[in-house]
Structure 1
């Protein structure tokens, strides 16, 4: 059983045992660029027009902060930081699944952070936050079929495979994973 994430304030800060999910700061541009420009991450992301320079990344982080406050489609973008060092180790996003009121989660990790369970820990916390704090009925993850790491993370979060669909832009396919309130594991909570 996993404990509920601690929501620190309405500023969308979420704490787990090892991580802090917090809004991106413009000063995080280098860390964000290291994550999003990594070919191992970039190949799975859409759109493909992600920033390639620190200046472009700063502008994107500013855009995300504005979107997080004003957009009806995006719930939020979070930097994932190691709580003991404050080093940004990953990124999370939560927005409305295309054409629905359901939410879709996405994640990416810095190369040196992979294999430590950070994506699962952050993803689980964000799913719980979405369901308990935002009242989401379900949260989806859209995973390209060849992305074995993302598929495994979705499953470790507790998501179940639902179907495979074509991309909205006509290019390629993706697998749909879903978790609902009743799927959350509470057995270890005290």
Structure 2
């Protein structure tokens, strides 16, 4: 995927030099407490660099639109979050859109803005739907899913053996002003 740009953000591939800002996301208990068991809290910069190395090595082998990307602010180049599209368990068909932001970047619309750009691109890759899952008490994630135009489709324990709220978006759900 080429870099995606919005008015305020660039969605780009992760780099090993992103270890410190990535740790501010994936090392923050406020963030990782909401993540599924597939991703735990990262303990230090060395461990974060190893995670980024695995992500950057895997990225070229993933079938689009799967992958993981950094969310970078255009104004100062700061990495403020991450986005991902991957298969949900049992890993055979449902694609999950996920987002994580540094706690000091919460409430500024970055997840919705970056997520919108990624959704727009993902639907050029011959897929027909994306899902997001959130723990019922994660009101921020639920709000972001709704701001992304995702519709609530129910609650399930199908994914990760957790009770999760499930949201879905299809190309027909996109607002007319989306390209």
Distance 1:57 1:22, change over 3 A: same
Q: 2:103 aligns with which of 88, 111, 119?
A: 111
Where do residues 83-98 of structure 1 align in structure 2 (5 Å cutoff)? 83-98=74-89
> Residue 5 of structure 1 aligns with which residue?
none
CA positional deviation for 1:135:
1.6
Q: Check the 8 A contact 1:73/1:96 in 2, yes or no.
A: no
CA positional deviation for 1:97:
2.9
Distance 1:155 1:169, change over 3 A: closer
- Determine whether 1:15 maps to 2:5: yes
Looking at structure 2, the residues matched to 33 and 18 of structure 1 have their Cα atoms a distance apart, in angstroms, of 22
Distance 1:88 1:97, change over 3 A: same
- Determine whether 1:52 maps to 2:43: yes
Q: TM-score, normalised by structure 1?
A: 0.86
Q: Secondary structure at the match of 1:119?
A: helix
Aligned length: 177
Q: Return 5+ residue gaps in structure 1 as ranges.
A: 1-10
Q: TM-score, normalised by structure 2?
A: 0.91
CA positional deviation for 1:187:
3.5
CA positional deviation for 1:168:
4.0
> Residue 59 of structure 2 aligns with which residue?
68
Looking at structure 2, the residues matched to 188 and 92 of structure 1 have their Cα atoms a distance apart, in angstroms, of 19
CA positional deviation for 1:79:
0.6
Q: 2:141 aligns with which of 150, 159, 174?
A: 150
Looking at structure 1, the residues matched to 72 and 33 of structure 2 have their Cα atoms a distance apart, in angstroms, of 23
> Residue 131 of structure 1 aligns with which residue?
123
Task: Give RMSD over aligned pairs.
Answer: 1.9
Looking at secondary structure, tell me which structure has more strand per residue: 1
